[in-house]
Structure 1
């Protein structure tokens, strides 16, 4: 398994566990600068992280807590917020306290720099990477793409069907896939909708005459847009009392690929509390150069081209 993974992915790996239980293996890991993971249990008054190495005390000094702490470009909250969570690190030294007990000095910053140099700096637009959601804002989702290094996924790139907030799709800690959308001045932007299938791939799951579930996404004077899947929505005839955000039972009148339209009738609606599930992906490769969402026989062409 690659060591350049979102933080928390290595902690349960057997190799990682074995190393944490052996001073000799920790010494070997120090010499090879191998990236390891363990749980941060305390952040002391000086903002040093105390890490549990299977009963051995590990210390990540404050300035080694994350890239940017030393020069002040990153605030200490980046360190404090790691308490009770997995942290990645490399071993920098093994010493003893006044009672002869081992103390292992660690650096998360060095692990992140190693990840940047060997992995993230080599990513190009269109590369598909594993990611883990770290926090959600109105404008998008932030995801760890390796060793706690975070990139933004703007809300309009999460799915074709529009949402009001990323919490409608993701939960913090959810493991997902993401596409590198852009790399500018060292900042990486992510996309997601290109992995959720084309219009035809999603429409193939439905047939005219079926009654299926959906989510009311918007209500206009000419009808209501109903999401059937994250990358597929149809237009329903207006019905009194229908509100955006409701769950709906809808009857499929027709599916028209050449117009990229699905006509629906709302049978019933009820209030709905979002409980996001892990996304269903239609792409199993590690790269995508071009994504054509629209059907081949549709006049309107909807596509994404990833410039390398």
Structure 2
């Protein structure tokens, strides 16, 4: 398994477990600068992180807690917030405390720089990478794409069907796939909707005459747009009392690929509670240059181009 993964992915690997419980193996890991993971259990008053190495004390000094902490471009909250979470690091030294107990000095910053140099610097637009959701804001989702290095996924790139907040799709800690959308001045932006299938791939799951569930995403004077899947919505006839965010049962009147339209009738309305599940992905490759959402015989063309 690659060591350049989102934090939390290595911690349960048997090799990682074996190493952090053995001084001899920790010494070998120091010499090879191998990236390891364990849980940060305390952030002391000087903002040094204490890491649980299975009975062996590990310390990440504040200035080694994250890239940018030394020059002040990153605030201490980036270190404090790691308590009770898996954290990646390389071993920098093994010493003894005054009582003779071993103390292992660690650096997360060096692990992140290694990840940047060996992995992230080689990423290109269109590359598909594993990611883990770290926090959600109204404007988008932040995801760890390797060793705690964070990239933003703007809300309009999460799915074709528009949502009001990323929490409708994701939960913190969810493992997903993402596409590298842009790289500018070292900042990486992610996209997601291109992995959730084309209009036709999603429409194939439904048939005219069926009654299925959906979520109302917008209400206009000519009807309500109802999401049938994250990358597919249909237009329903207006029904009194229907609001954005309602869960509904809808009858599928017709599916028209050449117009990229699905006509619906709302049968019933229910309260909707967010319960995001792992996304269903239609792309199994590790890179895409372009994504064509619209059907081939549709006059309207909807596509994404990933420029080198």
* Deviations 1:71-124, CA, capped at 9 Å, x for gaps: 000000000000000000000000000111100000000000000000001100
How many angstroms apart in 2 are the aligned matches of 1:30 and 1:201? Answer: 49
1:13 aligned to 2:19?
A: no
1:47 aligned to 2:85?
A: no
What are the ranges of 5 or more consecutive residues in structure 2 without an aligned counterpart? none
How many angstroms apart in 2 are the aligned matches of 1:231 and 1:67? Answer: 36
| Other-structure match for 2:143 | 143
1:248 aligned to 2:260?
A: no
Give 1:246 shift.
0.5
How many angstroms apart in 2 are the aligned matches of 1:273 and 1:250? Answer: 18
| Other-structure match for 1:185 | 185
1:62 aligned to 2:73?
A: no
Alignment of 1:1-308 (within 5 A): 1-308=1-308
Q: SS of the residue aligned with 1:114?
A: helix
How many angstroms apart in 2 are the aligned matches of 1:147 and 1:139? Answer: 24
Q: SS of the residue aligned with 2:11?
A: coil
* Deviations 1:148-184, CA, capped at 9 Å, x for gaps: 0000000000000000000000000000000000000
How many angstroms apart in 1 are the aligned matches of 2:52 and 2:156? Answer: 40
How many angstroms apart in 1 are the aligned matches of 2:88 and 2:17? Answer: 13
TM-score normalized by structure 2? Answer: 1.00
How many angstroms apart in 1 are the aligned matches of 2:229 and 2:272? Answer: 15
How many angstroms apart in 1 are the aligned matches of 2:284 and 2:64? Answer: 36
How many angstroms apart in 2 are the aligned matches of 1:13 and 1:78? Answer: 25
How many angstroms apart in 1 are the aligned matches of 2:54 and 2:167? Answer: 35
Give 1:270 shift.
1.0
Give 1:283 shift.
0.4
How many angstroms apart in 2 are the aligned matches of 1:121 and 1:185? Answer: 12
Q: SS of the residue aligned with 1:265?
A: strand
How many angstroms apart in 2 are the aligned matches of 1:88 and 1:20? Answer: 12
Runs of 4+ in 1 over 4 A off after TM superposition: none
How many angstroms apart in 1 are the aligned matches of 2:135 and 2:21? Answer: 32
TM-score normalized by structure 1? Answer: 1.00
How many angstroms apart in 2 are the aligned matches of 1:206 and 1:172? Answer: 30
Give 1:21 shift.
1.2
How many angstroms apart in 1 are the aligned matches of 2:63 and 2:114? Answer: 16
Q: SS of the residue aligned with 1:146?
A: coil
How many angstroms apart in 2 are the aligned matches of 1:66 and 1:190? Answer: 21
Equivalenced residue count is 308
What are the ranges of 5 or more consecutive residues in structure 1 without an aligned counterpart? none
How many angstroms apart in 1 are the aligned matches of 2:218 and 2:307? Answer: 33
